[in-house]
Structure 1
Amino acid sequence: MLPDHVDQFQYLIEEIPSVFFVYDLESQRITYVNKAYEQLWNGHREQVNEEFPNLLARLHPDDQEYAADCFSRLAAGRLRENVELRLLTPNEQVQWICVRASSYQPTDAPTSVAGFIDDITVEKAYYQNAEKFNTKKNSTLEILSHDLAGPLRLMQSLTEQLSEQLRTYADPHLHELLRIITTTCRESADLIHDFVDNEFFESSNVELRRERVNLVERVGIMVDNYIRTEKTIALSFSLETSAPAIYASIDENKFLQVLNNLVGNAIKFTPNGGHIRVGLSESPDHVLVTVADNGIGIPVELQAGLFDKFTKARRTGLRGEKSTGLGMSIVQTIVLLHEGRIWFESQPGQGTTFYIELPKGL
């Protein structure tokens, strides 16, 4: 039965493809559901209360605590966001649903919850696939910036040394050729790094699109991209986690760009043969993400202003990589937008570890 104030819209509600429901908190029963319920789950809406426990039993194990928390906040009128949950089909496939609901209390009536449920499985698969390749793209850009720019910086350095040794050799044409090679190498390497930096800067200006993400899965994809290049860039990478699944509410694209930036900086300041470790752990209230290297570390005199815009802490990388001085400032801004905090520990000659603490998503 529909509430009086929405009864006039019953025809429209019956025709929409979204499942519309009304749940009475006092009796703990669904008092109305439209016919889309039958289309989505092949159920019988007149038996919805008998079928509902079986539907709840299909909740993905990782989403059960999260769903309970969301319902508690919904009943108290404190749920403001859409809720995305996974249901397991009888053949163990994942069905994604999006729940948009709110509580209300008509005059002289018990409090009820009403809302819409949509199947977003196709949209979710498309989005996750896009994010997977976006993560790979960002990691690849960081890797290419070292793979491509490194040899150019080396050629630039060798040409500069050759020019110095031939300084007394009276051949203007030869000196001009060496100058062109040096300039071309420097400008080409700068162009590569500028391209990577611009990708990071542009994305930081876009509004956050946060969702509940399994960091172990998504960060694992990023680290795997680096592991595949270990022989190429002469560094090793690893991911250490405290649990098989760790969830947080993040803008996946921006947050993984933050991690790519931190890993990219670690690559810049870690000599060949070094190791870079990404870590994920959780406490009851927070998730801790770490990026650690055993590189040259950050000089003590540069540590205080590391997160400042155009910081004086910017340094040329071990392989000649330039720095704009903006990267760490943007990293901190994105972390703060996620209601998190970032800090680091560093010992010159022993390495650096960055820590990012985020509110935990159930």
Structure 2
Amino acid sequence: MTNIALKVLTENSNLMVFSLDRESGLFEHANHAFRFFQEIQGPLQNIQDLADRLPVEDRDLLQARLLGVENSPIEGTVVKFSSEGGQVYLELNMYPYSEAGISKIAGYARDVTLQTEFQQAILGHNSMKNAILNILSHDLVGSLAILEKLAVLALETSGRKQGDPLVPVLTSMQEMCRSNAGLIRGFLRKEFLTSMGVPLNRVRADLNDMLKGFMGQFASMAAECGISVQYDQGKSPVHLFMDQDKLIQVLNNLLSNALKFTPSGGMVRVWVESGRDLVTICVSDTGIGIPAHLKEHVFEKFSSSKRTGLNGEEPHGMGLWAVKTMVEWMGGNIRVDSTEGQGTEFRIELPITQS
């Protein structure tokens, strides 16, 4: 294929194709799609013009990637910048090459604003769904468990005498509570396992933004349980590569456990600690804690540490083994610290970089 043919293809492509001089950073070639983008968003004479319009975190990421582009090409890096029409998300792909002994970069970009906003909307709906499921597992299942126990107590008190009109009523009540609680637990288990079966999809996103949406939904519903839920949002954005849906499922499981083992009037707290290479998500509660002899087994697949909640909630899903597995899929780790009678704290450590 000739150079002319390649130019025809790139000039008519919907992708924004360009090349630049590595030393000066100047764009040497830009196809029609890239030139049209420049007309709308403003002049971009060199790569620094683009970098200057990015948030500090995205700018640092792009500049760091450019320094190492010779050893690790830039692929699928999504950055955002503000324009008159709002936030614009670009996916950048850049590859080094040499021409007449001069180091250059060829690349292409595509506008992924619609896809990114759609994904954010889906995650928002998932946050609401998970908050509702959490309340179902805590409030509704707990109430059904209590009603079942009351029905059993009433049956034992009556002696289950034949001809007593209350016996069939109480028996039906007992079975109905057990059946409905089982349906909810089965649904929650299926939902959790379905999430585990979806392939890992790590994207770079702001952890604080994701947690703000999820915790906002969760806190408003958890108030109905008589438990205070507090999210301490950091002042600065925390960008890292993560599978947002799986991370929400992980937090959903941890928060569900916190609600199950925290009495009314207690508190569940979530906060983020950011370091140079790692981000730590902390989930703590003021509940009954984990007995010392069970702590070392909580992350085992077939753990004997599963316990019934304070309101009779049976354990569901794959438990903390699945939580640990999904965290490790994202390159992180999880640990627990707990004192019986005082509360429990889980700490999820995730790497900031994709590698």
TM bucket normalised to smaller: over 0.9
Does residue 121 in structure 1 map to residue 113 in structure 2? yes
Question: Per the alignment, in what secondary structure is the counterpart of residue 316 of structure 1?
Answer: coil
Does residue 317 in structure 1 map to residue 309 in structure 2? yes
- How far 1:296 sits from its partner (Å)? 0.5
- How far 1:259 sits from its partner (Å)? 0.6
Give the distance between the partners of 1:44 and 1:336, measured in 2 at CA.
40
- How far 1:81 sits from its partner (Å)? 3.5
- How far 1:151 sits from its partner (Å)? 2.0
Does residue 186 in structure 1 map to residue 178 in structure 2? yes
Match of 1:201 among 193, 211, 230: 193
Match of 1:64 among 59, 65, 70: 59
Question: Per the alignment, in what secondary structure is the counterpart of residue 296 of structure 1?
Answer: coil
- How far 1:172 sits from its partner (Å)? 5.5
Does residue 17 in structure 1 map to residue 11 in structure 2? no
**Matched AA of 1:77:** N
Question: Per the alignment, in what secondary structure is the counterpart of residue 229 of structure 2?
Answer: strand
| Contact map agreement 1:37 1:43 (CA 8 A) in 2 | no
| Contact map agreement 1:311 1:326 (CA 8 A) in 2 | no
Match of 1:270 among 236, 257, 262: 262
1:6–1:266 distance in 2 versus 1, CA, 3 Å = farther
Deviations 1:317-336 (A, max 9, x none): 11111114722111001100
| Residue-pair matches, total | 354
- How far 1:236 sits from its partner (Å)? 0.4
Question: Per the alignment, in what secondary structure is the counterpart of residue 213 of structure 1?
Answer: strand
Match of 1:31 among 25, 28, 31: 28
Question: Per the alignment, in what secondary structure is the counterpart of residue 102 of structure 2?
Answer: coil
Match of 2:333 among 341, 353, 362: 341
Q: Hey, which bits of structure 1, 4+ residues long, moved more than 4 A?
A: 4-7
Match of 1:104 among 90, 97, 108: 97
Residue number in structure 2 paired with 1:86: 80
Does residue 73 in structure 1 map to residue 68 in structure 2? yes
- Aligned identity (percent) is 29
1:5–1:279 distance in 2 versus 1, CA, 3 Å = farther
Give the distance between the partners of 1:56 and 1:214, measured in 2 at CA.
18
**Matched AA of 1:72:** L
| Contact map agreement 1:212 1:250 (CA 8 A) in 2 | yes
**Matched AA of 1:131:** L
Deviations 1:233-253 (A, max 9, x none): 110001124433112210000
Give the distance between the partners of 2:4 and 2:349, measured in 1 at CA.
48
Match of 1:176 among 149, 163, 168: 168
Match of 1:42 among 39, 42, 62: 39
**Matched AA of 2:66:** F
- How far 1:270 sits from its partner (Å)? 0.6
Deviations 1:175-198 (A, max 9, x none): 233222111101111211221121
1:161–1:134 distance in 2 versus 1, CA, 3 Å = same
Moved more, 223-232 or 307-316: 223-232
| Contact map agreement 2:51 2:62 (CA 8 A) in 1 | no
| Contact map agreement 1:310 1:325 (CA 8 A) in 2 | no
Give the distance between the partners of 1:349 and 1:244, measured in 2 at CA.
35
What is the aligned-residue RMSD (CA, Å)?
2.3
Question: Per the alignment, in what secondary structure is the counterpart of residue 106 of structure 2?
Answer: strand
Structure 2 residues not aligned, in runs of 5+: none
Question: Per the alignment, in what secondary structure is the counterpart of residue 68 of structure 2?
Answer: helix
Does residue 159 in structure 1 map to residue 156 in structure 2? no
Structure 1 residues not aligned, in runs of 5+: none
- How far 1:62 sits from its partner (Å)? 3.5
Give the distance between the partners of 1:324 and 1:39, measured in 2 at CA.
54
Residue number in structure 2 paired with 1:351: 343
- How far 1:290 sits from its partner (Å)? 0.6
1:48–1:151 distance in 2 versus 1, CA, 3 Å = closer
Residue number in structure 2 paired with 1:218: 210
Give the distance between the partners of 1:235 and 1:319, measured in 2 at CA.
13
- How far 1:306 sits from its partner (Å)? 0.9
- How far 1:298 sits from its partner (Å)? 0.8
Residue number in structure 2 paired with 1:360: 352
- How far 1:28 sits from its partner (Å)? 3.2
Give the distance between the partners of 1:196 and 1:161, measured in 2 at CA.
28
Give the distance between the partners of 1:322 and 1:163, measured in 2 at CA.
22
Q: TM-score, normalised by structure 2?
A: 0.93
| Contact map agreement 2:94 2:106 (CA 8 A) in 1 | yes
**Matched AA of 1:57:** D
| Contact map agreement 1:241 1:281 (CA 8 A) in 2 | no
**Matched AA of 1:147:** D
- How far 1:63 sits from its partner (Å)? 1.6
Residue number in structure 2 paired with 1:301: 293
